[in-house]
Structure 1
Amino acid sequence: MRHICHGVCQGYTGCSGSVRKKGAGGEDTTRIEDIGGEFALIHRLTSRKEIPGVLKGVGDDCAVLRYDDEFDLLITTDLLLEGTHFRLDWSTPAQIGNKAMESNVSDIAAMGGIPRYAFVSVAFTGDFSVEQADELYAGMNKSCDRHGVSIVGGDTTKGALLTLNILIVGMVEKGTALLRCGALCGDLVAVTGSLGKSEAGLQALQNGLEGNIQPHLEPTARTEWGRLLRPYANSMIDVSDGLAGDIIHICDESNLGVEIDGDAIPLFETAMEIAARLGHDPLDYALSGGEDFELLFTFSKSKTDLIQKTGVPFTVIGKITEATRLLRVKRRAVPLKGGYDHFF
């Protein structure tokens, strides 16, 4: 998920204004951005060895665990931090609660699964009122009601910043979870809905502009669409870190390349309006903005008619290739880069 501080939390760990720290012996330490950022750190810290009962561990939207003869378990967790993922002067507690739950449910949707149970842990600040806490949980429960999720546990504590951590348990039919590693050379690449809407809302808030900011403040996970796409897609991911970064995740896990047609990417109308007013390229909002929570998936061309019959709105924006990762815009091809990283 995107880091929204832009000066609000200057000096916090991970912000552009942070200072290189010294080790206990006075030696320079290595910053996370020095090793390649968030995803390089995850790779460094985690193991990908085979574990009994774990069908998929690190490297996807959810862990996939063996459960019974009919279903596999899906487990995902996300951490949201005040000043990094939300601001209390922009969002109501209800909106924050809703967004926290939707961002987690979106990971279940990306696997084609059914979200079921949530564990919610919150660090409340000393000045956060009981009424605000009620509103925060009302927002979470609104999202839960939408997706059939029940909050069944969690923890609370006191902290310097409002912090939410949610773990969600879901289910998917045995052996059918949509993984990032499932893309095949020649697959078409498609995305649901439109992109750039969350970044457009963020830009509007930061610059005091009028516009449709609801998709940024109150996103919606595409659980129903994920279920409908599950029988036909070969791989899938939710667009949480920007289109560029998320398709690269699929390519990395599938050991393949991709060619994206930038002119075909469906842009949210407000994204084009806000970008024009600020002199920005709206395509950047889609490629690197993140938090759109649409579904990005690959599928065999022969399945096109079947996917169209599901009624899921989607746009084909490219194809999976053997190795090269390119973005084509107005007949010009450039290396595909971008996506959101918390440490850059």
Structure 2
Amino acid sequence: MDEFQLIRAITPKTHYHEKLILGIGDDAAVFRPDDGKNIVVCQDQMVEGTHFTKTTMGMSDVGYKALAANISDIAAMGAWPAYYLVTLTIPKHTNKDEIRDLYKGMQELASFYSMDLIGGDTTSGPALIINVTVLGYADPKQILTRSGAQPGDVLFVTGFVGESGAGLDTLLKNGRHMRFLDMEAEIVRTHQRPVPRCVEGRLLREAGSTCANDISDGLASELWEIAEASSSTLVIEEDAIQFRGYMLTLERKQALQYAFSGGEDFELVGTIAADKWPLLEELFKAKTSVPVTRIGYVESGPSRVLSRQTGRVLEKSGYNHLSKGDNHGDVRDSYDN
């Protein structure tokens, strides 16, 4: 399959957005932005051998997750995704069915959010590289940022953290073709096909939150990003972090290690004023099956993350793309803008 055959194969026959004027097929895409909305843009990249291998993920899973990483960034801003672009570097040995599966995985997720594929590029190279750009919309008065935490705020997290990291280790040990037991299958699916929390991001806005971050590099890393951006001290109550299923079969110390350093959960961690916390709990119970859990609070002080149990500063663990050393090996990378 050459480049032009690939373009014809992936060009959508219909579009979700009426304001899309030109999609794939010209030198650039053209769309009219929604009136009164801010355009939110993010980009992430996945590299074979660093972010994934075919031992742990099928090509449709790779495509799904490449798009999910970007949508999760959009969710963390309280925004909603609308369009995406895909640039691929494809090794010469890659067959056309693999590329079709890659796009199939993206389309499965994109259709859930009514997203239009509007462009990209392809080239050849020594490794498969997937670069995805997502554009979305946000209410200009309700954007969530890492710098929005205030002293006195409740610190919370959505869903369950640590499962993706545990799922990756299970896949590295057994391979993706293993017939997993129910609890193992759950964490494997969480790693391969995480669900971005766009609905929950909107609920955060509705309740009055101003601060959120998506958990891509591990809970500890994301907490530190909020603390540094907000110039505040975050106090984490480790005993409050909830686990389920397979994670409950582990020693709690190991489960917490996955939560703090595993990454790729794509849950949201953030803060909200204490008097608005009850409303946030009510909204989550009424409008989503995803739980929201209070895990600490914000106080005045230097930019740091403290453990309430030990009084010690929490290690800034998790993946850092440009550090000389990290807590993960290859294929234990995660994503961040």
Output the TM-score relative to the length of structure 1. 0.76
Match of 2:37 in 1: 71
Match of 1:230 in 2: 205
Match of 1:339 in 2: 318
CA contact (8 A) 1:72 1:174 kept: yes
Counterpart AA for 1:322? S
User: In the aligned structure 2, how far is the partner of 1:154 from the partner of 1:204?
Assistant: 34
| Per-residue deviation, 1:272 | 3.8
Secondary structure at 1:230's aligned position in 2?
helix
Match of 1:202 in 2: 168
User: 2:240 is matched with which residue: 245, 259, 264?
Assistant: 264
CA contact (8 A) 2:59 2:105 kept: yes
Match of 1:57 in 2: none
| Per-residue deviation, 1:221 | 0.4
Match of 1:297 in 2: 270
Kindly report which structure 2 residues correspond to 1:179-198, keeping only aligned pairs within 5 A, or say none. 179-198=145-164
Secondary structure at 1:144's aligned position in 2?
helix
CA contact (8 A) 1:72 1:175 kept: no
CA contact (8 A) 2:143 2:210 kept: no
2:68 corresponds to 1:102: yes
User: In the aligned structure 1, how far is the partner of 2:74 from the partner of 2:277?
Assistant: 23
CA contact (8 A) 1:196 1:268 kept: no
**Percentage identity across paired residues of the two chains:** 34
CA contact (8 A) 1:326 1:333 kept: no
User: In the aligned structure 1, how far is the partner of 2:210 from the partner of 2:194?
Assistant: 25
Secondary structure at 1:310's aligned position in 2?
helix
Q: Please, what is the CA RMSD of the aligned residues?
A: 1.8
User: In the aligned structure 1, how far is the partner of 2:320 from the partner of 2:157?
Assistant: 21
CA contact (8 A) 1:189 1:297 kept: yes
Match of 2:297 in 1: 319
User: In the aligned structure 2, how far is the partner of 1:304 from the partner of 1:119?
Assistant: 37
2:193 corresponds to 1:218: yes
| Per-residue deviation, 1:333 | 2.3
Distance 1:136 1:69, change over 3 A: closer
Counterpart AA for 1:139? G
2:47 corresponds to 1:81: yes
Counterpart AA for 1:112? G
User: In the aligned structure 2, how far is the partner of 1:124 from the partner of 1:268?
Assistant: 39
Match of 1:44 in 2: none
CA contact (8 A) 1:125 1:158 kept: yes
Q: List per-residue Cα deviations over 1:273-297 (Å, max 9, x = no partner).
A: 3x44xx9611010001110000111
Match of 2:216 in 1: 240
Q: List per-residue Cα deviations over 1:299-342 (Å, max 9, x = no partner).
A: 0011122212212520000011112534437x322211122213
| Per-residue deviation, 1:218 | 1.0
Unmatched 5+ residue regions in structure 2? Answer: 1-32, 326-337
User: In the aligned structure 1, how far is the partner of 2:244 from the partner of 2:168?
Assistant: 14
Match of 2:132 in 1: 166
CA contact (8 A) 1:271 1:285 kept: no
Match of 2:257 in 1: 284
CA contact (8 A) 1:119 1:166 kept: yes
User: In the aligned structure 1, how far is the partner of 2:136 from the partner of 2:215?
Assistant: 19
Match of 1:308 in 2: 281
Unmatched 5+ residue regions in structure 1? Answer: 1-66
* Count of equivalent residues: 274
User: In the aligned structure 2, how far is the partner of 1:290 from the partner of 1:71?
Assistant: 31
CA contact (8 A) 1:109 1:221 kept: yes
User: In the aligned structure 2, how far is the partner of 1:125 from the partner of 1:280?
Assistant: 41
User: In the aligned structure 2, how far is the partner of 1:111 from the partner of 1:160?
Assistant: 35
